[in-house]
Amino acid sequence: MTSSLTEPAALDLGPAVDRAAARRFAQTHLAPLAGRFDQDGRVPRETLDRIGAAGLWAPFLPVEYGGRGASMLTVGHVHEEVGRACSSVRSLLTVHGMVSWAVLRFGGPEQRERWLPRFAAGTVLGAFCLSEPGAGSDAANLTTRATRGARGWVIDGVKRWITGGQRAGLFLVFARTGGGIGAFLVPRDAPGVTVTPIHGMLGTRGSMLAEITFDGAQAGPDALVGPDGFAAGMVMTGVLDLGRYSVAAGSVGILQACLDACARYSAQREVSSGPLCDLQLIRAKLSDMVTDTRAARLLYEEAGRLKDRGDAGTIMATWVAKYFASVAAARHAAEAVQIHGAAGCAPGHPVERLFRDAKVMEIIEGSNEIQRITIAADAYREVAHG
């Protein structure tokens, strides 16, 4: 994988992408190295190459563009298994998938032909540029601006907390225009683009966050994705929905990893009365983990099925799935640390990393506070409409 804008290699789809394949890949190539990715604050190039060879970057893309034509339900399964092994890698899959989906759904024929084969192969990685120093969940506060120039679009502004920004070759940038908010494809090597790495975040430390500065950045006349001024209601809504879906599935992966670690540890750990797993309070904690993991999985799978059917109800189903799964992941990651005791607090311990990663899930792709407002508003609408 490189960030240069090169053509993909000859099409070779390889084995099918499904949950079993994703699990084998994640447990072989990600889980043993997840601690190192976290410590180093990056995912190395060879791992990114392996992800591309396995067809995991954007498996929902059509075969004609080098994708696997996978269903959204399958994408959820892939992101769960990757999240179970390494939330940092799952975060990279999330934002790359968001950019890929935006081009597939709203891009013109030339944009699709130019970018989608590269996205499918991973020869160009995408990053989603929405958050700013003064604008997070509330996109109404965006200050980045795009204006038409003699040679295309000129973009000025700063985007912060950009997942994958250190590696991405193409940025999907949301900016204000004369007509509202537009979405723009801006290459990393465009004049006026500066990438500044962000280190030491609480969780998903290997996801290579960056601050991206656009100082009179030249985007070109064909940079706009979808109609000018409608990105907030069209592109942004759809892309964030896919991001929340991925986070919901990834949160289930964290839950499953916590359950695996706690069941293993408590079965082996001896206390004065015998195995730790014989204590009723420990069994109660694991029982709750099992229940919430299964419930969260059912919620995101239902959202995936609705997406595959083209049912508009998938938007709210995804909100609910992301909210429930992220809250459950944070709760049970804390319990996993508690069960492991001092060992679970030690730097480099898997549950210590899971605890930090789980907290991030409650914030990204719409904070849980925003989600609760949105979910409640939907309930009131249903009552009002009988």
DSSP string, 257-289: HHHHHHHHHHHH-EETTEEGGGSHHHHHHHHHH
Which two tokens mark 281?
């309070």
Token pair 């007509």 is found at: 179
Q: Is 365 a catalytic residue?
A: yes
DSSP 3-state assignment of 86?
coil
Token pair 């000025």 is found at: 156
Residue 374 makes CB contacts below 8 A (sequence gap 6+) with 319, 366
Cα-Cα-Cα-Cα dihedral sign, residues 166, 168, 169, 172: negative
Catalytic residue from among 110, 270, 365, 382 = 365
Token pair 């964030």 is found at: 240
DSSP string, 301-370: HHHHHHHHHT-TTHHHHHHHHHHHHHHHHHHHHHHHHHHHTHHHHSTT-HHHHHHHHHHHHTTTTS-HHH
> Measuring CA to CA, which residue among 301, 299, 310, 308 is closest to residue 371?
299
Which two tokens mark 212?
């991206």
DSSP 3-state assignment of 244?
helix
Q: What residues are annotated to the active site? A: 365
